[in-house]
Amino acid sequence: MTAQPVSLSSHKPVIEPFSAPYAPEDDVLVPALLKDVTFSAEANRRIDERAGGYIAAIRKEASGIGGVEDFLREYGLSTREGLALMVLAEALLRVPDAATQDKLIEDKLKQGRWSEHESSGDTWFVSASAWALGLSAKVIKPGETPEGVVAGLIKRMGLPTVRAATKQAMRFLGHHFVLGETIGEALKRARASEAKGYRHSFDMLGEGARTRADAKRYFKSYADAIDAIGKAAGKNPLPDRMGISVKLSALHPRYLATHSEQVLEELVPDVLALAQQAKSYDLNFTIDAEEADRLELSLDVIDLVFADPSLEGWDGFGLAIQAYQKRALQVIEHIDALAARLGRRMMVRLVKGAYWDTEVKRGQERGLPDYPVFTRKPATDASYLACAKRMLAARPRLFPQFATHNALTVATILEMAGGDKSGFEFQRLHGMGESLYKQITEKGEKIACRIYAPVGGYRDLLAYLVRRLLENGANSSFVSMVGDENVPIADLLVRPAQKLEDGRGYRNPSIPLPPQLYGPSRRNSAGLEFGDRKELAGLLTGIASVRRNVDAVPLIPGVTVLNQTERVASPVDGSQVGTVVPAGKEQAERAVEVARKGFAKWSRTPVEERAAALDRAGDLLEANRDRLMDLLSREAGKTLDDGIAEIREAVDFCRYYAAEARRQFGHDMVMPGPTGEDDRLRHRGRGVFVCISPWNFPLAIFLGQVTAALAAGNAVVAKPAEQTPLIAHEAVKLLHEAGVPQDAVLYVPGDGSVGAALTAHPAIGGVAFTGSTETAWAINRTLAAKNGPIVPLIAETGGLNAMVVDATALAEQVTDDVVTSAFRSAGQRCSALRILYLQEDVADSMLEMIEGAARELVLDDPALPSTDIGPIIDEAQRTMLAEHIEEMKKTQKVRFAGVAPKEGIFFAPHIVELDRPEALTREVFGPILHVVRWKARDLDKVFDSIAATGYGLTFGLHTRIEATVAKAVDRLDVGNIYVNRNIIGAVVGTQPFGGSGLSGTGPKAGGPTYLTRFALEQVVSVNTAAAGGNASLIAMGD
């Protein structure tokens, strides 16, 4: 049966929405946790005795057929084989064509020493896997050297046989991780465990939804599973009944904190309908835990669903809580308060957490002050025990479910439970922890254990498999060590407190805090977590409080410009953002003369003083974040996410070039030479640099060019794009405030004629330009026509940026990266994806998902958190895009056309399928994705086609085949190649940005060679023996 959804959109939560510090300091949290889980000597003795007995029993039973734990010990993540297996298992069974399967198998089996595992595996499962993979490896690559080149295939067997053997080995592996491909098969396999007293919670495998169709399919999958489980559940009362785990991100394609209103409106009724259905069968219904930035949103959904009167009288509703999250205890307090307010009982599954690597990376990428998770495993262990203690104390209002495979953790929880061993259960993963829980559920105290059982096809195994390997495959994990007889049992009984007293501190010293990501040379730019409601509210309040229009005038010392004031209108709604007084040709020439005088002083300013001014500029940008965010939104149409990213990039440019100036220009380079001579190489500024920047990054690219030139000792005349003069005006004023003299950086707004006058001036020392290839050509011709010093042109222009996707790629990952690359910032990035090459074997399904995801994007006022895409910069750009689509309709296939708001200058995402790549002859700067299909045998032709365009800015590749990556890197002269990720958002100092060919001159912005192009080199050679003797040589020891 399926209950009818009940809409709760108008209901308010019964308690205050959850909020807690997102990433607090470990040094404050961890001591409190340790104090909370301190035991007496007698209690510790009992824990040791119990846990030691479990471990001895596990080791005694560690023989026979084996299972996942043996497999993880044998093929840990620290081995090449383990990594190769993970990739192979993840990709092979979803690849539809034989040619790509063969390539993948060949690629991965070359990476391992499989024969070494055949004899070392203690169990039949490990040995059989090694045998199958070892056999395959030998077929593909005879010989003993794993790094050797493929010598040839064994003709008698050939790749088809190997393909079949390897796929069977992968299915064999999958069978141990997954209880069944269907819920019916899983229920059938679960009977044996149920007969031994185990309970089950079934997890329907799958990625989060990207489209409405995905969400509907997952909803049906859950509803069908609940029906099947309910009919098979028997007559026992809760908690001794089967259950299901539900992933909220599978039920909504935009399950993001920034889309919370939409999510609560649309998702809550669906989750309630499933919960009502589970209640009708009296099943356990658990909401799975997800990433940290979704925690508040998940709890909002849970608060509303759990409070619905239709669920009264049912004790089966529950959620999972992750102990590695620093907010775990506050989540327990929130849930306990919710249950108390409603007078109901809730099931709470406690897990360590399965997204740890993702959380660490996101914290670093987003520039957070700290991490939302603990970075040392013993700190997570301490948090787990503190949470367990709190949950046990909340019985019977909470029904704790302790998910662990660690014997010491189990023994500690049983000690904390005291004489009352009722009202809670343990949980283990299917295929893991069997020996441990045999001691607990079938012998000894006979405490209930529930098996968390994945259900789904092997194609859906990826996310689950990778998380399990990351959780349990690390060398330091209990699962990894418990079966190793070489590890003394006493080592497995060391408490978290003892491990944290090893002198390494409460946080992992090998994982720097996000602000210290780049070491002592510079501080990482500060970001913002949109999943923290207080942070987001503070941003919105801050922006509103500093909103004011800007009246921009040329900033040329001693020069007053009396030209007519022009209105600057917002592309969002046409409202006035400010005014600008444009300069003319005469003022442009005067600016260069003033800057020449400024250069004389600035170029002789010590490097440390110049660098310090740029560091101060970075700090001022962060201090004025809200003001700049407002301007970026209103003048340039930037979404909040893009606005934060742009300010951070500008800050990174300031700090990076300051650090590079210190490193490269802070001291003379001593050159090798004969004794009696001192030879040194030094750098100095070139003179006046003209910096001409585009409208699509009016702060970051503008300041990137300007700060590089300043760092190298040049004076700068900066001309912003006509469309965005206000942001540039404020940026230059901040540079002046930071200590850069007014005659060292001058602001000259105006149209193209102003830029032409500046580049034609005979006294300039160089030009930095970002914009169209055509304008770059014109500047180049202007510079070449002058009879004077030959000055550098540093140009970064456009590109026909491509991405190639083969059949080994994961559709959900491809969809995320394609949609981001093609449509974020309304496609108004020089790095944006313009042409997507999809292998024909997977093209239909991937295109369907990409189109579905594009359909979910919200076009609206960029100042709203829920907006995904803002406006096009001006009417001329919108007209150009519309004309291109009309032209494409005549000869190509427009597969998808989004709907744009009527107010403002918006252009919705479009997807155009081309019959051949040559049908796209130029860069189309906007949210239009062109798609071409290719055959598996034609990869070389695809690379030829990309190279033939003459552009070389960014390129993306989605594949699990490393040989394909190597081929792309070798074949394509492209500035930035991105593999298995999106192709936009190059990070200063991490992914130096710039292209070749028609895409630019180099060197790369934000890279180690960029500053030298802004500088002249000078060698000073001194004969130190000129006074009549070589004192240093004579004084040298014998």
pLDDT tens per residue, range 737-777: 999 999 999 999 999 999 999 999 999 999 999 999 999 99
CA–CA distances in Å: residue 96 to residues 284, 808, 842, 843: 37, 9, 8, 11
pLDDT at 657 over 70: yes
Chain centre to alpha carbon of residue 438: 40
pLDDT at 105 over 90: no
Provide mean pLDDT across the span 250-267. 98
The neighbour count for residue 162, using CB atoms within 10 Å, is: 23
Amino acid at 973: D
pLDDT at 795 over 90: yes
How far is Cα 172 from Cα 129, in angstroms, rounded to an integer?
8
Checking if the pLDDT of 65 tops 90, the result is: no
* Confidence tier at 93 by pLDDT (50, 70, 90): confident
637 and 727 in a common domain: yes
Q: Which of 466, 485, 504 is the last residue of a domain?
A: 485
722 and 542 Cβ atoms separated by less than 8 Å: no
pLDDT higher than threshold 90 for residue 68: no
Q: Tell which residue, 1015, 1007, 1014, has the closest CA to residue 652.
A: 1007
Of 775, 797, 819, the one marking the end of a domain is 797
Residue 47 lies in a domain: yes
Is the separation of the CB atoms in 750 and 584 below 8 Å? Answer: yes
935 in any annotated domain: yes
3-state secondary structure labels for all residues of 946-995: HHHCCEECEEEEECCCHHHHHHHHHHCCCCEEEECCCCCCCCCCCCCECC
365 found inside a domain: no
583 neighbors 748 (Cβ within 8 angstroms)? yes
Asked whether the beta carbons of 62 and 122 are under 8 A apart, the reply is yes
Q: Quick one: average pLDDT of 686-703? A: 99
Last residue of a domain, one of 469, 485, 501: 485
Residue 85 scores a pLDDT above 90? no
Q: What is the mean pLDDT of residues 289-312?
A: 98
The CATH number covering residue 229 comes to 3.20.20.220
User: Residue 124: pLDDT band by 50, 70, 90 thresholds?
Assistant: very low
pLDDT at 138: 40
**Residue 1013 in domain:** no
**Which pLDDT score is estimated for 83?**
61
pLDDT band at 126 (very low <50, low <70, confident <90, very high): very low
Beta strands 550-552 and 669-670 are unpaired
The mean of the pLDDT values for the chain is 91
- Please identify which residue in the block is written with the tokens 């393909």: 163
Quick one: 740 and 823 in the same domain? no
Banded model confidence at residue 69, pLDDT cuts 50, 70, 90: low
Same-domain pairing of 473 and 576: no
Domain CATH for 758? 3.40.605.10
Residue 1000 is given by DSSP the state B
Using only C-alpha atoms, the chain has a radius of gyration, in whole angstroms, of 32
Query: Among residues 471, 646, 830, 851, which one is catalytic?
Result: 830
For residues 71 and 129, give the distance between their C-alpha atoms in angstroms, rounded to a whole number.
Answer: 9
* Same domain assignment for residues 850 and 918: yes
Evaluate whether 1011 touches 708 at the Cβ level (below 8 Å): yes
pLDDT at residue 568 above 90?
A: yes
Give the domain CATH number at 880: 3.40.309.10
Calculate mean pLDDT across residues 420-427.
Answer: 93
DSSP state of 555: B
Same domain, 539 and 409: no
Same domain (yes/no): 296, 328: yes
Residue 128 pLDDT > 50, yes or no? no
Range of the domain at 980: 802-999
Residue carrying the six token digits 């340039």: 636
Strand order in the sheet with 893-897: 893-897, 910-913, 928-934, 835-839, 802-805, 954-958, 976-979
722-732 burial, b if ≥16 CB within 10 A, otherwise e?
bbbbbbbbbbb
Q: Are residues 740 and 814 in the same domain?
A: no
| Burial class of residue 906, CB neighbours in 10 A (0-12, 13-18, 19+) | buried
Domain membership of residue 108 (yes or no) is yes
Residue 1032, domain member (yes or no): no
DSSP code at position 441: I
* Spatial distance between the Cα atoms of 278 and 226, rounded to a whole number of angstroms: 6
Element (H, E) at 205: none
Percent of the chain at pLDDT > 90 equals 78
Residue 308 belongs to some domain of the structure: yes
Residue 1016 lies in a domain: no
* Token duo for residue 282: 């009296």
Residue 78: pLDDT band with limits 50, 70, 90: low
pLDDT bucket at 2, cuts 50 / 70 / 90 = very low
Q: Is the pLDDT of residue 62 over 80?
A: no
**Cβ neighbours of 618 (radius 10 Å):** 27
* Same-domain status, 782 and 813: no
Check 106, 266, 730, 796 and give the catalytic one. 796
Residue 390, pLDDT > 60, answer: yes
Joined together, the tokens standing for residue 142 give: 């005879």
Strands 1015-1023 and 677-685: antiparallel
Location of structure tokens 């019916």: 184
Alpha carbons 76 and 470: distance in angstroms, whole number: 9
- Crossing angle for the helix pair 640-665 and 700-711, nearest 10 degrees? 10
CB 750 within 8 A of CB 553: no
Q: Is 717 helix (H, G, I), strand (E, B) or coil?
A: strand
Other beta carbons less than 10 A from residue 661's beta carbon: 24
Q: What is the pLDDT of residue 139?
A: 37
Residues 855 and 720 both lie in one domain:
no
Instruction: Tell me, yes or no, whether 826 and 748 share the same domain.
Output: no
- Percent of the chain residues past pLDDT 70, beyond the cut: 88
pLDDT at 311 over 80: yes
Residue 851, strand partner residues: none
pLDDT of 268 over the 80 cut: yes
The pLDDT value given to residue 445: 76
Instruction: Please check whether residues 848 and 773 belong to one and the same domain.
Output: no
Q: How much is the average pLDDT of 210-215?
A: 98
429 or 147, higher pLDDT: 429
**Domain count along the chain:** 3
Nearest to 388 by CA among 349, 359, 360: 349
Answer yes or no: 796 catalytic. yes
Which tens digit of pLDDT belongs to each residue from 929-969? 999 999 999 999 999 999 999 999 999 999 999 999 999 99
pLDDT on residue 361: 94
Distance, in Å, from the CA atom of 203 to the CA atom of 470, rounded to the nearest integer, reads 19
* pLDDT surpasses 70 at 830: yes
- For residues 771 and 706, state if they share a domain: yes
Please indicate whether residue 292 or residue 458 has the higher confidence score (pLDDT).
292
